[in-house]
A and B are shown apart, each in its own frame.
With several copies, the nearest count.
Chain A
Amino acid sequence: MSRDPDQLKNIVEGALLAAGQPLTLDQLLGLFLDEERPSRTEIRAALDALIADCESRGVELVEVSSGFRYQVKTAMAPWVSRLWEEKPAKYSRAVLETLALIAYRQPVTRGEIEEVRGVSVSSHIMKSLLEREWVRVIGHRDVPGKPALYGTTRLFLDYFNLKNLSDLPDLADIRSIETIERELDFDEADGDDSRAKALAEEPEQIQVAMPKEATETAVQEPQH
């Protein structure tokens, strides 16, 4: 059906903003009756045009795991976050490490997480990750005790602005004794300080941060 491309754009924009949650291409197509339904290409073009329209605005249109959504650009966060008195939740290192292990190693059992972290994972942590619906039980390993296998959810990806798991930051390589010797006399100082900044932003979360020297060495790490 021939249609004013602006109208299509406006409908898509209106629907995404009214929904307040990500909408898939199929959900967008579902807004139209059969006889007026645009093609996927047309919807895609409308989305692309809307994405371009956001360039100089305070919001952006992004695709996350469960679809397309409008969100406030991170540059506005310092002001926009003042709308709420409550500070956004902070997650302990234990929670984040457990989450990282589930995200990168899924499907994974609690025992396997404990093995890597070298400490037991409290039930409290698993419970809060499950309650947030960032993590779910996706099966059971066929070994004695049938331990639950955990995996991450779409909500987890949505929450962290990811379209799929491959968007996660790369895991650092495991280096062998041989490679390290070659690397040892290689890049000393130019770490990114974003991590140091991140640490500094949340002093109360991390009560004790690394002493300066230690931080610097750690900074040399992941190259992405």
Chain B
Amino acid sequence: MPTASETVPQQGEMPFAKVRGEEITQLPLDLYIPPDALEVFLDAFEGPLDLLLYLIRRQNLEILDIPIAEITRQYIEYIELMRDMRLELAAEYLVMAAMLAEIKSRMLLPRSAESEEEEGDPRAELIRRLQEYERYKQAAEEIDTLPRLGRDTFEARAKAPDMKVARTELHVDLKDLLLALKDVLVRSDRFTSHQIQREALSVRERMSNVLGAVNADSFTEFTTLFEAKEGRMGVVVTFLAVLELIKESLIELIQSEPFGPIYVKARHDVQRS
């Protein structure tokens, strides 16, 4: 439980209302309430049950013991007063007034012992509702006093250490990759027009490699793209790759003099990642 006793104002009595900044610590003994306070007064109640509870409690009465005639008189006087002030009164207040009047009249009517047994105390339902309301009203007050985050207690945190958050890398199956490709193929006929053949795939790989080996700023000697130990097939594949790259305008060949060395240069600055 929070014990914020420091913050409790040092005063004899709590103000029950503030009217134009002035604290009012005592309710007038009669029912008269300064007109300015009425609206505030009404706002202070959470409905007719709350107002009734207030009327009962301020007279030190027990709910089970309510003098229905007196409470009804007081309640209706408040309601009348508010209506005179033309305050917007929730319909529930009027319904309660009617209910009280009805209970009062039933209490006044002489009843046979029989019917009393049958119907019980005409106040019973009202008492039940008042008690029921009061327990939740109290519960609400108690919830309000529970140590609350951001008011009475605060989450404690420290800076996390510098760390590489291990990215759990997603697993991909080659099968999934192929299935995905198949989907594309099914969707697209574009592959049929220039279907990539087995050799072409290898040429494509070599194209990537050649492109990775040259750049736009300097010349790479054509012959360095080939490696004799790759054998004839390797040389052919590289050569096809170079031709394909030229065709796709990705590289250009430069020969400054007849029979001079041939240089390869990327058409556009090649970025390496």
Do the two shown chains form a genuine complex with each other?
A: yes
Residues of A within 8 A of B (CB): 14, 17-21, 59, 69-78, 80-91, 93-94, 96-97, 99-101, 103-107, 115-120, 130, 132-133, 136-143, 146, 148-149, 151-152, 158-162, 164-166, 168-177, 180-181, 184, 186, 192, 194-201, 203, 206-218, 220-222, 224
Q: What per-residue 1/0 map shows which CB atoms of B224-264 lie under 8 Å from chain A?
A: 00010111111001000000000011100000000000000
**Most chain A Cβ neighbours within 10 Å, of B48, B57, B143:** B143
B2, B159, B170, B196 — most chain A CB neighbours (10 Å): B159
Q: Among the interface residues A139, A174, A221, which one has the most CB atoms of the partner chain B within 10 A?
A: A139
Q: Quick one: given A117-B47, A217-B233, are A169 and B202 in contact (CB under 8 Å)?
A: no
Chain A binding surface SS class:
mixed
A104 and B177 form a contact (CB under 8 A)? no
List residues of B whose CB falls within 8 A of some A CB: 1-9, 13-18, 26-27, 40-41, 43-44, 46-50, 54, 57-60, 62, 64-65, 90, 92, 96, 121, 127-129, 131-185, 187-188, 190-191, 195-196, 198-199, 201-202, 204-209, 211-213, 227, 229-234, 237, 248-250, 266-273
* Cβ B145 vs Cβ A165 within 8 A: no
User: Distance in Å from the Cβ of B51 to the closest Cβ of chain A?
Assistant: 9
In the complex, what residues of B have CB within 8 A of residue A78's CB? Answer: 4, 6-7, 163
With a cutoff of 8 Å between Cβ atoms, the chain A residues found around residue B137 in the complex are 93, 97, 100
Contact at B181–A137, with CB atoms within 8 Å?
no
List B contacts of A199 (CB < 8 A): 14, 174
Q: A106-B208, A171-B139 are in contact. Are A208 and B201 (CB under 8 A)?
A: no
Once A117-B46, A174-B181 are accepted as A-B contacts, the answer to whether A212 and B14 lie under 8 Å apart by CB is: yes
Q: Are A116 and B161 interface neighbours, CB within 8 A?
A: no
- Taking CB atoms, residues of chain A closer than 8 Å to B26 are 211
Pick the contact of A146: B133, B207, B268 (CB < 8 A). B268
Given A97-B137, A97-B184, A141-B250: A222 in contact with B208 (beta carbons within 8 A):
yes
Nearest CB in chain B to that of A130: its residue: B273
Contact A142 B268 (CB under 8 A): yes
Q: Closest CB of chain A to B40's CB: distance in Å?
A: 6
Determine whether the beta carbon of A172 is less than 8 Å from that of B134.
Answer: yes
Q: Establish whether residues A200 and B14, one from each chain, have CB atoms under 8 Å apart when the complex forms.
A: yes
Say yes or no: B181 contacts A220, CB within 8 Å.
no
State whether A213 and B209 are in contact (beta carbons under 8 Å apart), knowing that A70-B159, A170-B198, A171-B185 are contacts in the complex: no
**CB distance B132 to A116 under 8 Å?**
yes
State the 4 A-B residue pairs at the shortest beta-carbon distance, nearest first.
A208-B44, A217-B234, A119-B47, A96-B180
CB distance from A133 to the nearest CB of B (A): 8
Nearest-neighbour CB distance to chain B for A222, whole angstroms, equals 5
Assembly CA distance A1 to B2 (angstroms)? 24
Q: List, sorted by A's number, 9 A–B pairs whose CB atoms are closer than 8 Å.
A: A74-B147, A85-B166, A104-B196, A105-B196, A146-B268, A171-B181, A199-B14, A209-B44, A216-B231
Give Cα distance in the complex from A133 to B273, angstroms.
Answer: 9
Complex CA distance for A101 and B184, rounded to whole angstroms: 9
| Complex CA–CA separation, A207 to B179 (angstroms) | 17
- Interchain CB contact under 8 A, B149 and A214: no
The residues of B that contact A104 with a CB separation of less than 8 Å are 136, 139, 181, 196, 201, 204
Chain A residues near B62 (CB, 8 Å)? 180, 184
Give the distance to chain B from A88, nearest Cβ to Cβ, in Å: 4
| Contact between B248 and A141, CB atoms less than 8 A apart | yes
On whether the beta carbons of A100 and B136 are closer than 8 Å, the reply is yes
Which residues of B have CB within 8 Å of A198? 141, 144-145
Find chain B residues with CB under 8 A from A76 CB: 161
Q: Are B144 and A196 neighbours in the complex by a CB distance under 8 Å?
A: no
A37 to B13, CA, bound (A): 31
**A208: which B residues are within 8 A, CB to CB?**
16-17, 40-41, 43-44
Give me 19 other A-B pairs in contact (C-beta within 8 A), A201-B4, A217-B57 excluded.
Answer: A14-B158, A69-B155, A69-B158, A73-B161, A74-B161, A88-B150, A91-B170, A100-B177, A104-B136, A117-B49, A118-B48, A136-B273, A137-B273, A139-B212, A169-B178, A195-B173, A200-B8, A210-B54, A213-B57
Q: Which of A21, A97, A176, A213 contacts B46 (CB 8 A)?
A: A97
